[in-house]
């Protein structure tokens, strides 16, 4: 059975995330393990790891995923930025393995002073370095983007090209589909027929076996608006009916749904997603 959850805060330490998720009514959750804006990662001592796992058990939550920091840019031509991004993601995979996380997801980044093809090769090389010698249980996910500016990964074709060299690596998990991002990038799935058509396109480029998790939210931006603006379910341009059409397809009903909407009003979003699942 697929699980419904949300991105939760780690204020006071990552050990507090499971209880917060449970309090919100989450069955699974997403969190950072470090500041998304920068700075060194808090140490995960054996005591902290043990406490986190006890808290997971106490909350009755079996699995969770990690979101990499926002400053990641694997497409950057600045060696310092790119190498730092590679290091941070590898660290997050190792931290995820220690905590028992299922996936680490990240945004590939944006490119300047290079063509899309050149930037794709840059990202490919960075992903290969991230996974070089990695044998942990936490796996890497690429998140589909909303396509603003020169952001990478807003089309299935771009994502497929980026992941090609690492698809068979055991540390690579696949793709996180974001309903708001995909919609803003021009993918319409607001009817059963459109959703099925989009999934056929996904399967023909990336492969449905690589679709592992979905961020679920409505969109403040209309179809093809190319802006990442999350909205509570039913209050945006996708609508509750549009999300229902997508989430009740056989593939989406098999993967976990994670909300990234604002905390105020998110209890209603969780309630709606559970109704859709039922």
pLDDT tens digits, 217-249: 999 999 999 999 999 999 999 999 999 999 999
For the whole model, what pTM was predicted? 0.95
The separation between CA 141 and the C-alpha centre of its own chain, rounded to angstroms, equals 7
Count other Cβ atoms within 10 Å, centred on residue 118: 12
Which of the four pLDDT bands, split at 50, 70 and 90, describes residue 38?
confident
Looking at the structure of the chain, the number of domains it has is 1
| pLDDT of 4 strictly over 90 | yes
| pLDDT of 37 strictly over 90 | no
- β-strand partners of 174: 141
Positive or negative, the CA dihedral 141, 147, 148, 151 is positive
CATH number for 31: 3.20.20.150
Structural tokens at position 102: 């299922």
Domain of 154? 4-277
Q: What is the rounded radius of gyration, in angstroms, for the C-alpha atoms of the chain?
A: 18
3-state helix, strand, coil in the chain (%, to 5): 45, 15, 40
Burial class (CB in 10 A: 0-12, 13-18, 19+), 94: middle
Contact 174, 212 (CB under 8 A): yes
Which of the four pLDDT bands, split at 50, 70 and 90, describes residue 148?
confident
Span 105-128, pLDDT tens digits = 999 999 999 999 999 999 999 999
pLDDT of residue 91: 98
3-state helix/strand/coil string of 41-106:
CCCCCHHHHHHHHHHHHHHCCCCEEEECCCCCCCCCCCHHHHHHHHHHHHHHHHHHHHHCCCEEEE
Closest CA to 57 of 99, 5, 13: 99
Q: Cα separations (Å) of 83 from 22, 70, 116, 123, 222?
A: 36, 15, 20, 11, 36
Q: What percent of the chain has pLDDT over 90?
A: 96
């Amino acid at each position: 059975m697929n699980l419904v959850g949300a991105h939760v805060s780690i204020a006071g330490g990552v050990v507090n995330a499971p209880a917060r998720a449970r309090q919100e009514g989450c069955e699974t959750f997403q969190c950072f393990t470090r500041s998304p804006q920068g700075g060194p990662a808090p140490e995960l001592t054996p005591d902290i790891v043990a406490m986190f796992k006890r808290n997971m058990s106490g909350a009755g939550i079996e699995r969770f995923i990690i979101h990499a920091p926002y400053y990641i840019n694997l497409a950057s031509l600045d060696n310092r930025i790119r190498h730092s991004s590679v290091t941070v993601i590898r660290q997050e995979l190792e931290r995820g393995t220690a905590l028992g996380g299922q996936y680490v997801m990240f945004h590939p980044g944006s490119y300047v002073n290079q063509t899309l093809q050149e930037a794709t090769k840059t990202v490919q090389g960075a992903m290969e370095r991230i996974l070089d010698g990695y044998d942990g249980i936490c796996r890497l996910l690429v998140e589909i983007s909303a396509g603003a500016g020169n952001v990478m990964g807003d089309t299935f074709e771009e994502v497929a090209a980026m992941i090609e060299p690492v698809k068979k690596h055991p540390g690579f998990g696949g793709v996180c589909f974001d309903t708001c991002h995909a919609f803003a990038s021009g993918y319409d799935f607001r009817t059963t027929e459109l959703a099925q058509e989009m999934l056929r396109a996904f399967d023909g480029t990336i492969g449905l076996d690589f679709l592992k998790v979905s961020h679920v939210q409505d969109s403040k931006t209309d179809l093809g608006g190319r802006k990442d603006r999350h909205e509570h379910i039913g209050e945006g341009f996708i609508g509750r009916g549009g999300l229902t059409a997508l989430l009740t397809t056989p593939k989406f009903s098999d993967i976990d749904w994670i909300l990234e909407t604002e905390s105020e009003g998110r209890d209603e979003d969780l309630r709606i997603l559970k109704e859709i699942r039922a």
